[in-house]
Chain A
Amino acid sequence: MKTDSPALFVMTTILLTLTIAQPARLSAESTAQWTVQVSKVDPGAVGLSPSFQVAIYENLLQELSKTKRFKWVLRDGDQKAANATDLLLLKTAVERYTAGSETQRAVTTVTGATKLTVHTQLSTPDGKIILERTVHGNVRFMGSNLRATYNLARNIAKTIKKSSLPEPTSSVVTKAMNSTSSDGVVVVESP
């Protein structure tokens, strides 16, 4: 009976720690989420087909929602953006486009790839750039040409998911408020 008690104690401690830590972590995640508004894709001067432009935009909305990195994923022109706090704007401009051919891919395997290169920028409404990347999306073997837009959107979403975004201003303020209320002392640093 005595031999079991230390193990039981350790187990209980671990369980208690996990139970207490879990809600705190969740609340931190929920407060630290941005809202993103996806702007219409800038086709540039590369002769991009309108269907590709629309497909990139729609796929981006879907893939960004899947990342669960953002509180809301808003469309271009959505009125909800006016009231949203912690808003980020996602702008995408096509830099390079190689129109491929599904038939050519099926016949030769090595030629006929559809390639897309875009410059994507995540910024605040006042113009401060948070993230800037060049992302590629290709379809080389199987699939239709529009599949390149899906691959591109997935790559952009992956890039954003991997990158570390700064904490939204509202969550910083909330944290500061919490720390001041718990400490009871306000420290003002002069520049």
Chain B
Amino acid sequence: MTHTAVPWYCKSSDRLLKRRSLTAFLILVMACGTGVFAEDVSQPNNPPSSLPATHLLGFVGARNSSKGTLSIEGDALQFKKNGKAAVQVRIASIHDLLLGDLSRQVGGVPVTLAKAAVPYSGGRAVSLFTHKKYDTLTLEYVDAEGGLHGAIFELTKGQAEGLRNHLLAKGAQVSNAGNEPTKQTAEASSENR
């Protein structure tokens, strides 16, 4: 009775290895596919219905520093404040779209008063935690008489770029070369001369 030199685990291991590599390959393919589909969702083909935004200034008919929703309705960019009539501009009249970001103190007057009430100027330390970063969307457009308008909207972090891409897909123009988003920060530490 002669036994072969092949160890007891060899055959089963080979099969197991093949199965495992196949499974790993399938998982990899599925993961990549999911990633591709996820990217497709963020493309301009599926525009967001409406985004919460704060109108900082410049949009004709809307009050400065008013909160509302920013949406694309047909060929127009529309800003609607709750309970008020919507104001809009034609997307084709937009000559430039620029992204930026800003950091602001949140909480308004109540938090400011609370900070002032903390003894030994302790409220200043609170300020370190009561700020929030936002995206800004700056657009330049012309009216019917050729007059240049500028408007600034404040959006939740990460939303401005998607909206910009949708507007570009709908016919808005950008003045700077290429379609790469130009993101500039409104807050920096160095002095510019």
Q: Is A125 located at the chain interface by the 8 A CB criterion? A: no
- In this complex, what residue of A is CB-closest to B149? A75
Residues 140-170 of B at the A interface (beta carbon under 8 Å): 140, 142-143, 145-152
Across the interface, do A59 and B57 meet the contact criterion of CB distance under 8 Å? yes
How many angstroms from the CA of A97 to the CA of B184 in the assembled complex?
Answer: 14
User: Is A98 an interface residue, CB under 8 A from the partner?
Assistant: yes
Binds B, one of A20-28, A100-108, A164-172, A180-188: A100-108
Q: Please tell me the size bucket of the interface on A.
A: 35 or more
Complex interface residues of chain A between 58 and 108 (CB less than 8 A to chain B) = 58-59, 74-80, 96-103, 106-108
Contact across chains for B136 and A97 when beta carbons are under 8 A apart: no
Residues of A within 8 A of B (CB): 40, 46-55, 57-59, 74-80, 96-103, 106-109, 144-146
Residues of chain A lying within 8 A (CB to CB) of residue B58: 54-55, 58
Q: Is there an interface contact between B102 and A58, defined as CB atoms closer than 8 Å?
A: no
Question: A98 to B146, Cβ gap below 8 A?
Answer: no
A108/B124 contact (C-beta < 8 A), A51-B186, A55-B57, A77-B146 known: yes
B56 interfacial by beta-carbon distance below 8 Å:
yes
Residues of B within 8 A of A (CB): 56-58, 96, 98, 100, 102-105, 115, 124-125, 127-128, 131, 136, 138, 140, 142-143, 145-152, 182, 184-193
- Given A46-B192, A109-B124, 9 more pairs with CB closer than 8 A: A46-B193, A51-B56, A51-B186, A55-B56, A78-B145, A78-B147, A101-B103, A103-B105, A146-B102
CB pair A52 B186 closer than 8 Å: yes
